[in-house]
Structure 1
Amino acid sequence: MQSGHNAMTGFVTVILALVIVIVGLVSRWPLWVWPFAAGVLSTGAAASLVRARRRRPLIPPERLLEPELPIPQVERWECVIKDVSLPSLSEDYDFQFSATVRWLPQEAPPNAPVVNAGGLAIDAVVDRARRITHQSPPHRSSLVQHRLNGELATMVADPSGRVLAMADNVRLTLADADRERLEKLATVRKNEEVWEHERKWEQSKRAYLGEDVLRTPGSAVVWWLAKNDEKIDKTVSDIGLLAELSSAANDQSVPDDFQRYVPGLAKEQEPLEAMADESTTGPPSPDEYARFLLRHSGLPDGDPRRALYLERVAEAAKGAGLPDVADALLRMLGDFPHPPQSAGPAEPPFDGYFDEDPPYDD
């Protein structure tokens, strides 16, 4: 502080000397004034220095900080642990825990046994880390490591109260083999999820088509018309195809009202139309008659009674003098399985006469 006062005094003295020189030159002082002015200036500077030396400093020297004094060394208690296995949320997948454990011994109560403070600190830190890792999934090791760094960064007393312990430089890893297994499982899980999503989407699409769009030929036509609302002619031309598609989707035959739109079935309708107007189209052929009679028999496809029906109608056609129709019916009969014969007496063939009207001799 005194050195600073001396510097300030010298600086002010120099400034005053310059001011005196300038004033003397401007005022053209006589020669005897210059030595007098220099003496006054020197006397003032000397008085200021003497006064500063006599003044007591504000802070006594014995109270001043002396950073040059040696600082006592702080005793450190720490230990490095490596690759300690800690459980994870998944069984058989353990974390590998490494850290620097630091502790601070506490005052022991009277008659307390001697303990290994480092062992207590390490056990306390590992137990704190285990409570976190066993609730964490193994594939999140990096995230769990950051959480451990935060949780273990505070000095906490161990259960015995003999040490305060914390951990630094925490490192949490997973074995390479376990990491590869988890990656494979994750890939399979993702693929399975995609497959399940695609399967449900396909089921939904099938249900939509089968239970809504193709439920009947009429619903299929309406759906197709909604898709092609500007192409009515195309929808009309596709009615037969839609009817076949709807019938196939429901394992049914094409309804009678839509058979005329199906190219293959439309030809089978021609005998019926011909019978309705023989004057225009001419009489149908025996095969057309046979198909017409079978189609309008009322017996569903696959019914074994259809064979019996053809047999009886063929016999009736022969008795009515229509041998061509009877032959056509018998040809169709070869395509159907015959029903089992009953155990009763066989019915005599029809001979064209009734029992109550026996033939008369000429």
Structure 2
Amino acid sequence: MHGDHAPETAAPGPGRRLFALLLVNAVLAQVVTFVLRPAATYRAIELDVPSGWLGALTALFAVVPLVLAVPSGQATDRFSERRVMIAGGVLMTASAVVLLLAGSTTAGLAAGIIVLGTGHLLCVVGQQAAVANSAPDGRFDTAFGHYTFAASLGQAAGPGLIILAGGGRAVPDTGLLFAGSIGIGLVLTLSALFIRTPARPPGSREQEAGGMRTLVRLPGLPRALLVSCVVLAAVDITLVYLPALGTDRDLSAGFIGLLLTLRAVASMTSRFFLGKLVTLLDRRRLMVVTTVLSALSMAALALPLPPAALACLVVCLGLGLGVGQPLTMAWLASSTPPGLRGRAMSLRLTGNRLGQVVLPSAVGALAITTGAAGVLCATAAALGAAAALAGRRTAETAGTS
């Protein structure tokens, strides 16, 4: 992220009704995702899928979206955020149907996860472009902080449903979780029908002509995207390997659901105050500090610690992991003209999806010999490398900022 940040102003945010609907849509999309993905992991455990293959199942969530991310951004810029979000809601609902009806086989699980990943991609590209095109200049950090706060709220509520579906057992009622997600997906789709984004500013069509060439020339883009994708892959790995860690150490599904909820709530906290945090530091320094915190917390989770210590570490992990995504969104929104913001967000998601494919697959191979604890240590090392990269970049640009 080249340079610091634009000063936060007192300009009003987007229309209350629009922003409220966007936040509802963001919450529901994450609820469905954070119910179905752990539920699919538990179903895979029920089917005696080897632990090494859990990383491959995690990567499937990102495989098709990796190919479709940029086209989805082009569709958002061309057709509207609303239509893309409706399509995403339909696909996420369909994924729950697939998992319910065909999730008793590994192939059915794989198909459901792929459909879920595609629907999630469409939802978040539409949501992020809508936020970027609705927030006034100088308020991007706050707007994306609140947007990702809503996403974290959904990420907290999703694991909470796991507790209701039999959290006292080692493996919850996965069929009930799949069925409940169908209803939530229908509400998600319905909420997108009522979203109306502002008209494009004059000249946005001309801005679209530059396309991806304009975006890839943004200074510091590759490193910002790399840090973003490592942070998001770390979130994915905790979503899959905390349940695996729990089964390795005889921790109940309810306690693991509590840990996932604590991580999400901690991320909500850092995201809600993102605008103030950026004002106190700046985007680059904040990225370095929070990524280091995430790396240290992730490494410590691999240690044989009592439940209370695990809970404290997960809170620290959530505080650190919560910052990376809204920071890169705000930077892209402030650096990109309105007619290209859908593609800008999709480019970020392409990098994120690549990280979601490569990193879980790589660390999943470690699970065969080291178990879930080894996966967490490897992920901590990746976060440490990302923090070092962000820190080196800070040093390189210190004289020009």
TM (norm. structure 2) is: 0.15
Task: Give the strand-richer structure, 1 or 2.
Answer: 1
**RCO higher in 1 or 2 (8 Å CA, sep ≥ 6)?**
2
TM (norm. structure 1) is: 0.16
Task: Give the helix-richer structure, 1 or 2.
Answer: 2
